[in-house]
Amino acid sequence: MGKHKIKHIAVLTSSRADYGIYLPLLNRLKNHVDFKLSIVAFGSHCKEEYGSTINAIIDDGFDVFKSIDGLIIGDTPEIISKSYAKTHDLFASFWAQNYKIFDCVLCLGDRFEMAAAVNAGVPFNVKFAHIHSGETTLGAIDNIYRHQISIASMFHFTSTENNLNRINSIVGNSFSSLNVGSLSLDNIKDFSLYSKKEFLRMWGVDLDQPTILITVHPETINFDKNESYAKELELALNELKFDYQLLITSSNIDTKASVYSQMFKKLLTNNPGKVYYISNLGSRSYFSCLNNVALVMGNSSSGIIEVASFNKYVINIGDRQKGRHAGENVQNVKFDKDEIIHATKKYAGLEFNGHNIYDRGGASELIISKLKTF
């Protein structure tokens, strides 16, 4: 018999958000007899301003093969473009030194940082596998970055059959793609959720109170409209705060993100004990919160993909997620004060009894089975 060949798998992670999605897969790859795992951390992981979340990776017991600090702090189009260029340049050097050692490199999602890292590997013929390939978000320039990543990848793991069909039409074949469902949903099975008392002790937020969990990112296609969008949202939240506790998490590093963070921080300052602003809960706390809130609000992909598994409704605001396949628990409204308030009062506290269209059960194992064939 020939010698057992261990496949060397690299994983690109640019933020705590994508790290949280990867986590169930990382835990399975870490001690798997068929794989050697190398994590490459970059983007906001390397910035103190965003919590130096590379430390969370280390605290979870993983070794970081390489950290690459290419992110420039700021939210103007020029800064975003310069961050892309700097990240691309640094990864060009990284791939030049390391492209031969990996059997496959996993990448995820649609962030500009991820697109820069992946595109820098194209001249080296790096074998990328793209998780959450084939999705569409027409209200964000991330839609362009996602398809850049897909075109540069040799294999594609999709989250629904619709997305599988889309990526097959983009890349021109079906043998390089597989529908695995959403990887992040494996975390629900892996995590032991915090109790309300534990959550209160950790974060100072009492989930026995009717609570709305809010995550809003800028719309980066029509980025000049974000000021008016933030104002409409602020007007709505200033009314809803009388009936609900508001728990807000921070926006992505996107053009005009500061418009929302400044508005949320003003709400926090003016409404102590009713409004809470937590930069990043982390996956376990986030899911524990989802398990207990009355409603989820915003325009995050999590609202579309994960919330149905907790039998909650989502008020999806604006066009950022337009085009993404959504379940019946997702209620779409405009950035309009009256629409937001009306939908919130209609759906808050109701239980959603439908199926999560992103849950195929065991995405990690499906991905690992495919990686063995590379």
- How many other CB atoms are found less than 10 A from the CB of residue 62? 21
Of 45-49, 99-103, 125-129, 227-231, the range with the lowest mean pLDDT is 45-49
- Digit-coded pLDDT (tens) for 171-219: 887 778 999 999 999 998 888 999 999 999 999 999 999 999 999 999 8
Q: How far is CA 358 from the centre of its chain?
A: 14
CATH topology match: 7-182+360-371 vs 196-347: yes
- How many other CB atoms are found less than 10 A from the CB of residue 89? 13
The values of phi and psi at residue 288, to 5°, are: -65, -40
**Annotated domain spans of the chain:** 7-182+360-371, 196-347
Residue 296: strand pairing partners: 213, 314
- Digit-coded pLDDT (tens) for 4-15: 789 999 999 999
- CATH among 3.40.50.2000, 2.60.40.10, 3.40.1350.10, 1.20.1090.10 for 7-182+360-371: 3.40.50.2000
Indicate the pTM of the whole model: 0.90
Confirm if 212 and 307 have CB atoms less than 8 A apart. Answer: no
Confirm if 273 and 246 have CB atoms less than 8 A apart. Answer: no
Q: 32 or 224: whose pLDDT is higher?
A: 32
pLDDT at 1: 47
List the CATH code of the domain at 196-347.
3.40.50.2000
Q: What percentage of the chain carries pLDDT values higher than 90?
A: 83
Q: How far is CA 203 from the centre of its chain?
A: 21
Rounded Cα–Cα distance for residues 322 and 16 (Å): 24
